[in-house]
A = this chain, B = another copy of it.
């Protein structure tokens, strides 16, 4: 006999991908609404936050941390480079571009922080402390398990 009670027939209604993507859309809208006055999208906020927190980073390093495709990052950086919140510094290796936040970038992030916090709080208020914690744990563990090959 088999050890695992195999889920012989999976139905598309049980799609993990659909669930995660739906949730991402919903949640994104809440944060977008709060961050709108700053001119930052939530992805830009995350990106900028990582660059500020983790110091100079190459695009590849950043794409690893953010679980985002490198080429996606290249394009997501464009508005931020254009508006001068992030700069590219030359590295020893001429292929690399070290990304650093400018003073304006840090100031913008500081201004945006309360609005991000309000969004985060709205989500937590709606979901409750327990569900928020459970969701975070489940998502964090999932990301570990689904780490790229």
Contacts and interface: CB of A to CB of B under 8 A. Distances in A.
Contact of A142 (B13, B67, B135, B140): B135
A104 interface: no
A17 B140 contact: no
A101 to B, nearest CB: 13
Interface string A130-141: 011011111111
Q: Is the interface of A mostly helix, strand, loop or mixed?
A: helix
Residues of A in contact with B, size category: 35 or more
Nearest to A116: B12
Interface in A108-149: 113, 116-117, 119-121, 123-124, 126-129, 131-132, 134-143, 145-146, 148
B140 A10 contact: no
A94 interface: no
A20 interface: yes
Contacts of A43: 21
Nearest to A109: B12
B21 A28 contact: yes
19 contacts: A10-B120, A12-B46, A12-B49, A12-B113, A12-B116, A16-B132, A17-B42, A20-B139, A21-B28, A22-B66, A23-B139, A23-B146, A26-B148, A127-B141, A127-B142, A127-B145, A131-B142, A134-B137, A138-B138
